[in-house]
Amino acid sequence: MRYQSYYRPSYNFSSKVTVPRDKQPTETWSADTVWAAAAYAQRINGSYLKDDVVQYIDESPVVVNRSSKALMRSALTDQSLISQEDITVGQDARDWHKKNLLVKALKTPLSDFEQSVARVSNQDEFNDTQRLELAVTASQIQSFIVNQRMAEANNRIDRSAGFLGEVGAKVGCDLEVIRCTFSERYGCFFVTGITSANQAVFFSYRAKLSPGLTVKVVGTVKAHRDDSTQLTRTKVIA
């Protein structure tokens, strides 16, 4: 049997291979400064924005809202942008995440993302090479604010006011949005709010409703869940 020979390219193993060095940090910031910069970004945008919001004007893209991490970077570069309120919100958010995740870790294993949040919450100093850590911090002011609103709403709920209506009834109400989260599974937003009569309401909706917004909604009572009224076929009319 004859064996076919194959061409094998020659390699020069004596050639020098250059291994890139890790980038060395050129700037460092305290945890208070980083969390305050994240709070500044939240204050300017009113919510967490993962990416820039772009609109096309005369077929040209125009950035109308910068991402939260970009705004946070701006505040780290020019710290005069940071207000005393931002510093307070940042400190409160960091303390809340630190304590909340510590308690949660005692009960159940943390997810990979929760472990990342726990790390940045316990980090005393950041540098400009820690892009992931800075991005995670930028995203965590909103979750703190939403949870604070939820706690305040729970305190406001008047259980003696009963539900919004009987199951099957068509109802309408003015609603303060407390939380709005997107469900990948169902492809919609789940909205939690509280009425002017301090009744808890939740429903699914096709569009995002910003927490803190007051809207008028109409829908059909689908069920009574604990202390909340669940609506279906919900429309936002104002």
Do 127 and 166 lie in one domain? The reply is no
**AA identity, residue 95:** D
Q: Which of 143, 166, 182 is nearest to 230 (CA)?
A: 166
Q: Dmax of the chain from CA atoms?
A: 93
Report the pLDDT value the prediction gives residue 78, as an integer from 0 to 100: 97
Q: Write the DSSP symbol of residue 164.
A: S
Query: Residue 210, Cβ neighbours under 10 Å: how many?
Result: 10
Pairing between β-strand 200-205 and β-strand 228-236 as defined by DSSP bridges: parallel
Return the pLDDT at 158: 87
Token pair of 141 as six digits: 């002011």
Task: Answer yes or no: is 16 within a domain.
Answer: no
User: Are 33 and 142 members of one domain?
Assistant: yes
As a whole number of angstroms, the distance between CA 177 and CA 215 comes to 8
Q: Is residue 112 part of a domain?
A: yes
21 found inside a domain? no
Confidence (pLDDT) at 133:
97
Tell me which residue range forms the domain holding 216.
Answer: 157-236
> Which of 148, 177, 197 delimits the end of a domain?
148
On whether residue 176 sits in a domain, the answer given is: yes
Whether 113 and 48 map to the same domain: the answer is yes
Residue 11 lies in a domain: no
Are residues 203 and 111 located together in one domain of the fold? no
Contact 232, 199 (CB under 8 A): no
Alpha-carbon distances, residue 236 vs 61, 70, 222 (angstroms):
30, 32, 17
227 with 180, same domain: the answer is yes
Q: Which two tokens stand for residue 63?
A: 């950035």
Assess whether 166 and 138 both reside in one domain. no
pLDDT in the model for residue 181: 86
Residue 145: other Cβ atoms inside 10 A: 20
Q: What CA–CA distance (Å, rounded) separates 235 from 172?
A: 9
- Residue 4's pLDDT is 47
Do 105 and 88 reside in the same domain of the chain?
Answer: yes
The pLDDT, as a whole number, for residue 145 is 92
Among the three residues 92, 126, 148, which one is the final residue of a domain in this structure? 148
User: Would you write out the chain's pLDDT as a tens digit for each of its 238 residues?
Assistant: 444 444 444 445 444 555 556 677 789 999 999 999 999 999 999 889 998 888 888 878 888 789 999 999 999 999 999 999 999 999 999 999 999 999 999 999 999 999 999 999 999 999 999 999 999 999 999 999 988 988 888 888 888 888 999 999 999 999 999 888 888 888 999 999 999 899 999 999 999 898 889 999 999 999 998 889 999 999 998 7
Tell me, what's the pLDDT at 60?
81
pLDDT of residue 54: 80
Tokens, residue 192 = 């939690």
Report the amino acid identity of residue 93. Answer: A
Same domain, 143 and 184: no
Spatial CA neighbour of 218 closest among 73, 205, 208, 7: 205
Burial class (CB within 10 angstroms; exposed 0-12, middle 13-18, buried 19+) of 133:
middle
Into how many domains does the chain fold? 2
